[in-house]
Structure formats: structure tokens, C-alpha cells
Amino acid sequence: MIIDGKKEAALLREEIKKEILLLKEKTKKVPGLSVILIGDFTPSQIYVKNKEKNSKEVGINSEVIKYPKDITEQEVLNKIKELNNNPEVSGILVQLPLPKHINKEKIINAIHPKKDVDGFNPINVGNLASGYDAIIPCTPLGCLYLIKKIEKNLSGKHAVIIGRSNLNGKPMAQLLLRENCTVTIVHSKTKDLKAECQKADILVAAVGKANLVKGDWVKKDSIIIDVGINKVEEKIVGDVDFESVKEKVKAITPVPGGVGPMTIACLLKNTLECFKAR
């Protein structure tokens, strides 16, 4: 089965839109999302435009605050402080990557944990790791959503995650642990990557290496989630060699059209949850 991320994301957006309409009738308010975009890096501009379009479609009040690449760190921190104190703003997102002179950690730490729709603030990271309520990073949240569409009960499944980034691999591992999976994280220093992947009932690839996972790396009837986005000769491909893997497994996400659309839908979901929590 090829998992249709576009369709699942559209369904999730529809649910979010309905809930926002109901909340608007009750409270006369809608969620607000403020996105800070620094510089003119084209992929960031495209991501932010998509986020803004999708937000507006579901009824989120979305604003993009654009700064030139030579903006000072202090000016950005001041803006975050202002947004933290603004009751109309439910969620704040600072689009990464940032220019070199701006300290990413300082910026992420400055966002109020209850408005941190990306789930990158250490408070949310710690809460997730401790099993408390947390805002969960959008891509792993979207991956879990897709996995659970295929298999509701993940208890006892062996999940292998390739990649240990704060953005993807680590929160994905925490989420699957919470679902009672036995979790293995593999990375660039892992001795026998193929042998580890072969044990996986659920394999999540978040690496950034085109077609790394081959057909003989995967277990029969497993679930494969491909987070990777790689450009090969003007084509976008994932970390999984889709053609050699797809016949062997129970379900697989394509690239594009798999995890990507879910990431934005989960950002909208996080914004709605932040609004509700306030």
C-alpha cells in the first residue's frame, strides 16, 4: 500500500477547519500564527508561503514577519517577546535556517513554550522525553499519524529510526517509545546499518541521502516512512529506494506526497492546540 500523505493531510486540514469554525462561533476568536522569516533563502520563502496559504484556508489568522538577512539578533528577540505577550498570537514559528550571526538556540529558547508550535523549545523537548504533555515537532507528529493509519496498536513492534536529529530522529524515537515500540536509533556511526534496518517492523528514514535504503534492507510486511527530501537531477526523491522497497512491504510513503504534506497539516494542528490550551 502506498500511503497517500496528500489525502491524509487534506482530511486532517478539513477536521481542523471544522473545529476552528465551531470555536469561532463559541468564542468569537480564531487561532493566530506568527511566522518570522529572515533573509531571502528561496526554500524558506516557499515553505513560509505554503504555511501561510494552508493556515488561511483552515481559518487561522496568519501573519508573516519578514526581516532582511542583516537584522540583529536583539531585534528578533524583541519581536519574539512582543509576540509572546500578544494574546491574539497562539503560535510563533521562526523559519530555519537562520543567518550565521543569529544564535538559533537563543531564538528557540525565547519562544514561549506554550506558543512553540514547532516543539523545538527545550521545555517541550523535555516534556516529550518525560512523557508529559508537550508540543510535538510537526514532522515526527505527521509520521506517527501516518503509521497509525496503517496500524493502530504499535505495542511491541520493533521501530528503527535512521537519523538522530533534534528535528526528526530524536522526537520520532520518543513518540514511538510512548506507543510501546522497541526503538532503535541508527546514525552515521552505526556499524551495520542494513542489519539493523532488516529487524524493523516500522522503519523511519530521516537522513538526507537519496535512495539509501534498498529492497534487501527491509523486512517483509513492514511499514516504511520516508522523511528524506533529496534533489537528484532536478527530481525530488526520498531516503528510500521506492521501486525496490515498495513490493516487499506492507505500506510505504512516497516522496513527494508522503510525509511532506503532513508536516504542514501538523503545524496547523499544533497552532489550534496552542489556541485551545490558552
Q: Is 268 in the site for ligand NAP (CB under 6 A)?
A: no
Look up residue 65 and give its DSSP letter. Answer: E
Please tell me which residue in 79, 115, 118, 226 is annotated as part of the active site.
118
DSSP-derived 3-state class of residue 161: strand
Q: Is 193 in the site for ligand NAP (CB under 6 A)?
A: yes
Is residue 95 part of the annotated active site? The answer reads yes
Q: How far apart are CA 199 and CA 217, in angstroms?
A: 9
Quick one: cell of 45? 520563502
Residue 208 C-beta: closest distance to ligand NAP, Å: 3
User: Which of residues 61 and 174 has its CB atom nearest to ligand NAP in the complex?
Assistant: 174
Query: What are the beta bridge partners of residue 252?
Result: 2, 224
Which one among 49, 69, 101, 187 touches ligand NAP, defined by CB under 6 A?
A: 187
Binders of ligand NAP: how many residues, by CB under 6 A? 24
Which one among 93, 167, 197, 267 touches ligand NAP, defined by CB under 6 A?
A: 167
Question: Distances from the Cα of 24 to the Cαs of 29, 139, 174, 255, in angstroms?
Answer: 5, 27, 34, 36
Query: What are the beta bridge partners of residue 223?
Result: 202, 251
Is residue 118 part of the annotated active site? The answer reads yes
Residue 106's H or E segment, with its range, is helix 104-110
Which one among 125, 161, 162, 224 touches ligand NAP, defined by CB under 6 A?
A: 162
Question: Distances from the Cα of 202 to the Cαs of 43, 176, 182, 184, in angstroms?
Answer: 30, 10, 10, 10
Query: What are the beta bridge partners of residue 188?
Result: none
Which one among 164, 199, 246, 248 touches ligand NAP, defined by CB under 6 A?
A: 164
Which one among 12, 117, 203, 259 touches ligand NAP, defined by CB under 6 A?
A: 259
Is residue 51 part of the annotated active site? The answer reads yes
Where in 112-151 is the site for ligand NAP (CB under 6 A)? 139
Query: What are the beta bridge partners of residue 42?
Result: none
Residue 191 C-beta: closest distance to ligand NAP, Å: 11
Which one among 32, 113, 140, 169 touches ligand NAP, defined by CB under 6 A?
A: 169
Which single residue is written with the C-alpha cell 529510526?
161
Q: How far apart are CA 222 and CA 200, in angstroms?
A: 7
Residues that bind ligand NAP (CB under 6 A): 139, 162-165, 167-169, 186-189, 193, 206-209, 227-230, 259-260, 263
Active-site residue list? 51, 95, 118
